[in-house]
């Protein structure tokens, strides 16, 4: 494995297809345990709950569709124990580490990493390196159709199911809401722009992630997993058939079409601008307010803020 990275980090925004990728990587048995380690809020030890994604929104027609907040418990693990837990749990016996990071989680990753000894720098790249223990292969998963991504997000925060099929009764109660979807579109645009700005800022450090757009991912999942395995020095033949099904269905498609019509009439956001950037192309749910595993040190990272993030250099 000499010359190959021993770690990878999938970087994305919610509902981009990143779970589809990491679950197939996990299924190989040789590509780490790619958990979303950095999603847990230090105040609650939980990932953001539905209403936290809509902080600052006072529209009761939106809030009535979201579960009330649950009181959690503060994360108390010191930074070094938190780091050691992440390094241990994310690694398979062959030494490969895997993980996933969303842009909205980067401020708290920086905050938590700041308490570590012997830092290599103060920026995001250094925080990633100092927590993982090496420079990882970066895999950027993104969804060009941000409206479909936002509809998926809005439906998931109502059903509280981020993978697989939701309870039919609860899913039936989920409602279309143009204002809520517009809020999510803006949030996801901010996250994707955050990543792309960071790529541009770190160009001197040769930050050139493997780019994986969602339409390419779900059509070529096994091939892309094989490409990643090969980049890690592993046997690409271990790439399995897809282990998860796509959640989108006719109802999601109807909401997407309905939102596009409403957006045209009401001037709501529908897309993000993709600036030119360097990168390598690949190939030709949990944001639901669930607590960290009981009895383990809880990673204290994640944020409900979007469109903001680290600007410090290495």
Contact 7, 1 (CB under 8 A): no
Is the model's pLDDT at 102 over the cut of 70?
Answer: yes
| Nearest to 140, CA basis, from 187, 97, 182, 193 | 193
Q: What is the pLDDT of residue 280?
A: 54
Q: Name the average pLDDT for the chain.
A: 87
In this predicted structure, what is the pLDDT of residue 170?
A: 87
Angstrom distance (rounded) from CA 113 to CA 177: 38
What is the pLDDT, as a whole number, of residue 56?
94
How far is the C-alpha of 271 from the C-alpha of 142, rounded, in Å? 13
CB 18 within 8 A of CB 213: no
**Mean pLDDT score, 258-272:** 95
pLDDT for the residue 21? 97
Alpha-carbon dihedral of residues 273, 279, 283, 287, nearest 10 degrees? -60
Q: How many other C-beta atoms can be found within 10 angstroms of the C-beta atom of residue 285?
A: 20
Confidence of residue 287 (pLDDT cuts 50, 70, 90): very low
Rounded mean pLDDT, 161-184: 87
Q: What is the pLDDT of residues 125-158, one digit of tens each?
A: 999 999 999 999 999 999 999 999 999 999 999 9
- Is the torsion defined by CA of 41, 42, 45, 51 positive or negative? negative
CA distance 257 to 149: 13
pLDDT value for 282: 57
Q: 163: pLDDT confidence band, cut at 50, 70 and 90?
A: low
CA atoms within 13 A on the CB side of 242: 13
The pLDDT of residue 303 is: 35
Residue 198: how many CB atoms within 10 A of its CB?
20
What are the residue boundaries of the structural domains of the chain, listed by start?
7-281
Report the CATH fold assignment for 7-281. Rossmann fold (3.40.50)
pLDDT at 311 over 70: no
Instruction: Please write the tens of the pLDDT for every residue from 17-59.
Output: 999 999 999 999 999 999 999 999 999 999 999 999 999 999 9
229 close to 238: Cβ distance less than 8 angstroms:
yes
Of the candidates 298, 308, 302, the one whose C-alpha atom is nearest the C-alpha of residue 286 is 302
- Position 284 scores a pLDDT of 35
Between CA 238 and CA 29 the distance in angstroms is 8
Q: Read off the pLDDT of residues 205-253 as tens digits, 9 standing for 90 and up.
A: 888 899 999 999 999 999 999 999 999 999 999 999 988 766 568 899 9
Residues acting as catalytic residues:
36
The reported pLDDT for the residue numbered 164 is 66
For residue 226, give both structure tokens. 């094989």
End-to-end, the C-alpha distance of the chain in Å comes to 27
Q: Which of 151-160, 286-295, 302-311 has the highest mean pLDDT?
A: 151-160
């Amino acid at each position: 494995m000499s010359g190959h990275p021993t770690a990878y980090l999938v970087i994305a925004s919610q509902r981009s297809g990143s779970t589809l990728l990491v679950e197939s990587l996990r299924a190989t048995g040789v590509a780490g345990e790619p958990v979303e380690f950095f999603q847990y809020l230090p105040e609650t030890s939980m990932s953001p709950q539905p209403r936290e994604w809509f902080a600052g929104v006072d529209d009761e027609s939106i809030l009535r569709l979201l579960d009330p907040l649950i009181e959690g418990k503060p994360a108390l693990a010191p930074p070094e124990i938190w780091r050691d837990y992440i390094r241990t749990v994310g690694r398979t016996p062959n030494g490969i580490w895997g993980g996933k990071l969303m842009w909205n989680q980067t401020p708290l990753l920086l905050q938590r990493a700041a308490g570590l000894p012997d830092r290599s720098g103060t920026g995001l790249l250094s925080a990633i390196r100092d927590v993982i223990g090496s420079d990882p292969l970066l895999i950027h998963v993104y969804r060009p159709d941000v409206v479909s991504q936002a509809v998926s997000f809005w439906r998931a925060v109502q059903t509280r199911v981020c993978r697989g099929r939701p309870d039919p009764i609860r899913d039936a109660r989920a409602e279309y809401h143009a204002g809520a979807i517009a809020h999510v579109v803006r949030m996801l645009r901010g996250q994707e722009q955050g990543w792309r700005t960071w790529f541009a800022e770190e160009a001197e450090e040769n930050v050139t992630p493997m780019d994986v757009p969602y339409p390419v991912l779900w059509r070529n999942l096994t091939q892309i997993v094989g490409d990643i395995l090969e980049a890690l020095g592993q046997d690409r033949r271990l790439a399995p058939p897809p282990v998860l099904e796509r959640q989108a269905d006719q109802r999601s498609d109807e909401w997407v079409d309905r939102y596009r019509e409403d957006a045209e009439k009401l001037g709501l956001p529908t897309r993000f601008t993709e600036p030119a950037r360097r990168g390598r192309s690949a190939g030709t749910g949990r944001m639901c307010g669930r607590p960290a595993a009981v009895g383990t040190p809880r990673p204290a990272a994640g944020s409900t803020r979007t469109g903001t993030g680290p600007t410090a250099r290495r």
